[in-house]
Every structure is written in C-alpha cells, then in structure tokens.
Amino acid sequence: MSIHKAARKITTHVLQAMKAKNEKIAMLTAYDYSIAKLVDQAGVDVILVGDSAANVMAGYDTTLPLTLDEIIYHAKSVVRAVEKALVVVDLPFGTYQGNSKHALDSAIRIMKETGAHAVKLEGGKEVEESVVRILSAGIPVMGHLGLMPQSIHKFGTYVVRAKDDEEADQLRKDAVLLEKLGCFALVLEKIPAKLAEEVAKSIKIPVIGIGAGGGVDGQVLVIHDMLGLTQEFSPRFLRRYHDLATEIKGAVSNYVKDVRSEDFPNEKEQY
Ligand code: KIV
C-alpha cells in the first residue's frame, strides 16, 4: 500500500518517508472551506494556504499587500475542512523578514489561531534567524527558493530564476542551509529542471516544485490556475485540468436567461 493511503493523517514525517520511498507528493493551494474539503477528499497530501490568495482571491497584482489577518482568515476556513492533508500557511510579506522576534510572533499567531500544521516562508541565508527562531518554538517550516513572488520588485519580472551560475550556486547553498536549519520541506519555484533535480537529490527533505520539472519529490500548483479559473495566467509549466471559467460563465448566463424569461423558478421549485 502507498504511504499516502496507509497514513491516517499526513505529517511532516509522512512526507519525508514518501521521499525516502520515492513516492511523489501532491500539493495544491486552497483558500476556503468548500474547495479545501474537495481537495482533501481527492487525496492531496499538502494543502498550501498560499499568499497567492492576494492574486486569485483578492485581485492584487502581487502577493505583497496580503496581511497576516487575511491569511489567518483563509487558513481557519481551510483547516475546518481538512481531515487528512497537512495544512501549510504562507507567512505574508513583512511578517517575518528582518526581525526574528516578529517572525516568531507571526508564526505563533498562525498556529494558534488557525490550527494549521506548518508555515512557509521565502528566502535562504537572509531569513536564517527567522527560520531558526520559528523552529525553536516547535513550528515546522517549509522553505521556498527560486522565484520568490514576495521579492518581485527586486527581481523586476516573473521570469525563470537561477539560470546563471552565481544565482544557481546561491540557491544550492540556501537549500542545504534550510535543510541544516531543520526545515521539513522546500518549494522550488520556476528554476531550470536540471538544477531542481540536482538540489532534490542533494538533500534529504522533500523538494516540491512549481515550474521546476519532474525530477523533484512532488509538485504544487495554484488551484485556480489548474482548474482554469484564471484565464489570463498561462505560463509554460501550468497544466490545466479543467476549464472552470467557461463552465461557470455558461452556468451563470443560463441562470440569467432563466430568470429573465421567468423559467426559473418553476412549479416544483417553490413552496
Ligand atoms: O502562494 C503560493 O501559492 C505559493 C505556491 C506558488 C508555491 O507559494
């Protein structure tokens, strides 16, 4: 039997056992109760309450405006729905950088107020103190390297990262550092597949990729993107499993038509 099937609940240890047994990890984002319930029931291992909520839920251009209160609201809704998956919550921009005491306070608020199982943050060496302090409170931390959307104004664009030797080398070092500090897993976003595979092989903790090829230990996508709700976002790495935007627009326009023509409600749809 697969490790996922045998486990009653997915824990950080289950994920590490999955990597050791070469069993791929499936991770998706969710931000609300109804979707999280379906995602959990469909067998996803890890649900990320991502700060991509800023884009797909709130309509911001970047992830930067999302607040701690806002991600806590989303995370509480997700945790209420989930029975098996590990729930990881993004620390929003400005809640952990530059001040490890502040980072710990933010992570504690997330764990205490939402009931989630772990936090995720972006960066390597530059957030070392924050990672150490959060871990010292017994809070599992997932790292995130490569394209880090919270640093978009530093990068200037959302293009593939770590293509040159210097950046690739820094990423390798940061991955090893995050493992050494005690992170339980690492997300690699939008980097060359060869580099991602090399990093995944060089460390024991699971490496989950998004736009990082198939040589890593698992994959993550933003649920709105893979269901085809976000039509304008179409990077090469994205596989769309549905065209929900078209389905929803079709259903809603049928409803509008039925209301206007007085077809809805009919005799059976009233008291
Ligand atoms: O916020 C998010 O959805 C993420 C994933 C892209 C990994 O960080």
Assess contact for 71 and 121: CB atoms under 8 A.
Answer: no
- Give the distance (Å) from ligand 1 centre to CA of residue 60: 15
Rounded distance between C-alpha atoms, residue 127 and residue 125, angstroms: 6
Is the pLDDT confidence value at 232 over 90? no
Which atom, in ligand 1's list, is nearest to the CA of 27? Answer: 7
Rounded distance between C-alpha atoms, residue 90 and residue 118, angstroms: 9
Residue 127 half-sphere exposure, CB side, CA atoms within 13 Å? 29
Tens digits of residue pLDDT in 156-202:
999 999 999 999 999 999 999 999 999 999 999 999 999 999 999 99
Tens digits of residue pLDDT in 50-100:
999 999 999 999 999 999 999 999 999 999 999 999 999 999 999 999 999
Rounded distance between C-alpha atoms, residue 217 and residue 74, angstroms: 27
Q: How confident is the model at residue 222 (pLDDT cuts 50, 70, 90)?
A: very high
Is the pLDDT confidence value at 231 over 90? no
Give the per-residue pLDDT at 65. 98
- Give the distance (Å) from ligand 1 centre to CA of residue 264: 40
Q: Which CATH superfamily is domain 3-240 in?
A: Phosphoenolpyruvate-binding domains (3.20.20.60)
Q: Is the pTM of this model over 0.95?
A: yes
Tens digits of residue pLDDT in 106-151:
999 999 999 999 999 999 999 999 999 999 999 999 999 999 999 9
User: Residue 123: CB within 6 Å of ligand 1?
Assistant: no
Q: How confident is the model at residue 219 (pLDDT cuts 50, 70, 90)?
A: very high
User: Residue 222: CB within 6 Å of ligand 1?
Assistant: yes
User: Residue 219: CB within 6 Å of ligand 1?
Assistant: no
Domain ranges of the chain: 3-240, 244-271
CB-count exposure of residue 6 (10 Å: 0-12, 13-18, 19+): exposed
DSSP 204: S
